[in-house]
Structure 1
Amino acid sequence: MSRVELARLSRKPLIAIVDRANRALQADMVRQGHQDGHPELKLAHNAVLGTLSIDGSRAADMAVRAGITRQSMGEVIRELVSLGILEMRPDPEDGRAKLVTYSEHGREVAADGYAHLRDLEERFEAEFGPEDYEVARDVLSRVAELLDHWAAERSEEAASG
């Protein structure tokens, strides 16, 4: 049996660069949360806090946005409820569904997180310059849009084919 030859790229793949940046940003958010007086925060909480809308969200919708299973999302939500950061209540639009919302303490945690995000945006813009930073943001947005578009095209081809 012959071995399949693995062709190496001539430079670090974009997926590795984006993944490294994402992990650094995620860790930075937790570190800052700890410095802001929220030592209970951990990396797994980012999937919830990063997808929860200010007015509340359904866990299933949050799981889709975070790219994790509903079970995993539910587990982290329950942990954040036990920590007093989140609350669950009946969804006024669907009595069978639950709406995840911030508790009063959770709103403080979120306010601190949003303040840190604003600070990061300002610091990145100062570091790279407004034009270069806007280009970086635009390119990353376009990469995601292209990948979604190409995936939809492949799905259509597979369905018709």
Structure 2
Amino acid sequence: MSRAQPRRLDRKPLIALVDRANRALQSDMVRRAQADGHTEVKMAHNAVFGTLHAGGARAADMAARAGITRQSMGEVIRDMVGLDLLEMRSDPNDGRAKVVDYSEHGLAVAGDGFRYLTELDRRLEQEFGEQEYAVVRDVLDRLVGVLDRFAAEADQASSSAGGSVG
């Protein structure tokens, strides 16, 4: 018996294009940080830089936003604490929990990164043109919304099916 071969797509799947763009953008951020003298910055640190906002956050919340495990986020955070990019303090609302925040050095690194993001945004807008770049951003934003809606619908259908068994 021969096994059925998966059908070949006539173009790259959207997920492959988005993944490649994401990896290229993240690599570019690390390359720029290192060029700016922040040689301690690694690709793994993007999970923190992309999810930690002013005022700090819990590691579990950051992990959920980054789509990685709490253990993985904890490992990255410990590395960044050791590099003096982050610091940890007790959560004022829960003495058992810790809040992660930028150290003074980490704020400088993150600030340079945000300035570069602004510059990169401007350069991409020049490259594609204002209207086309606005369309790219709008479509990606809408894509996230649609995928979130699909996930919520699937969760709802799953919980409805599970609740009606009996």
Tell me what 2:24 maps to: 24
Q: CA-atom RMSD, angstroms?
A: 1.0
| 2:144 counterpart letter in structure 1 | A
Deviations 1:6-59 (A, max 9, x none): 111111111111111000000000000001111011100000111001111110
Question: Does 2:64 align with 1:64?
Answer: yes
Give secondary structure in 1 for the equivalent of 2:97. strand
Give secondary structure in 1 for the equivalent of 2:37. coil
CA distance in 1, matches of 2:42, 2:91: 27
Matches within 5 A, 1:9-158: 9-158=9-158
Q: In percent, how many aligned pairs have the same letter? A: 63
TM-score (norm. length: structure 1): 0.97
| 2:57 counterpart letter in structure 1 | S
Deviations 1:94-136 (A, max 9, x none): 2111110110101110111001100001001111111111110
| 2:145 counterpart letter in structure 1 | E
Structure 1 stretches (4+) deviating beyond 4 angstroms? none
Deviations 1:44-86 (A, max 9, x none): 0000111001111110000000000000000000000000010
CA distance in 2, matches of 1:131, 1:92: 46
Query: What's the offset of the Cα at 1:151?
Result: 1.4
TM-score (norm. length: structure 2): 0.94
CA distance in 1, matches of 2:88, 2:4: 51
CA distance in 2, matches of 1:29, 1:110: 11
